[in-house]
Amino acid sequence: MKSAESKVAGTITQRRVSFNIGGTTYEVAPPSCATLILLSEELANIPAVELNHSEKYSEVLRWAKNFRPLARAVAILVLGAENLTEERTIVEKRILGIIPIRKSVKIDKIGEMGDTLIKLSPSALKGLFLKMLEAMEIEDFFGFTTSLIELNLLKPTKEVVN
């Protein structure tokens, strides 16, 4: 178990944690508030469904098409809010296939990584997501959010006078 000082130092210095995804190692920094907001938005795309636990197989097969946001959510955690797109230069041969033309294109890195993540087994994707959340100490953000909500609930309100 890490000491409080070690956790604080790791957060302040943006200490990265390594994860192997589809044969590639990614260095993942603790999530910023922007990353957590994007993560929340992506997870909101998962439909709220009541699963029939006695019919696990048919339920999974029926709803699996709706869970692409899970892979995109893991991609957001890995990439961080600041690295979701990338400018790349590609070379196309146009005129008679001889003269190369350089073109700058914007790449959606979430989509690229999501395509890799969607190929993982469900247990591997779940395990990766849970390991990332644990390593990134999401509970600190949860505690901070909870304390802010409590402050908001406890602040005095205007009284109505009859």
CB-based contact 9:118 (threshold 8 Å): no
Whether the predicted pLDDT of 12 surpasses 50: no
pLDDT of residue 64: 80
CB-based contact 126:22 (threshold 8 Å): no
pLDDT tens column, 50-60: 777 888 888 87
CA 160 to chain centre: 44
Of 11-15, 32-36, 76-80, which range is least confident?
11-15
pLDDT of residue 91: 85
Interval 3-20 mean pLDDT: 62
**How far is it, in rounded angstroms, from Cα 131 to Cα 129?**
6
pLDDT tens column, 60-111: 788 787 778 888 888 998 998 888 888 988 888 776 767 788 888 898 999 8
Considering only residues 83 and 155, tell me which one the structure prediction assigns the higher pLDDT: 83
Query: C-alpha angle with apex 10: 7 to 13, nearest 5 degrees?
Result: 145
Of 17-21, 39-43, 103-107, 157-161, which range is least confident?
157-161
Q: 74-83: b or e for each residue (b if 16 or more CB lie within 10 Å)? A: bbbbbbbeee
Q: What is the DSSP string of 106-118?
A: EEEHHHHHHHHHT
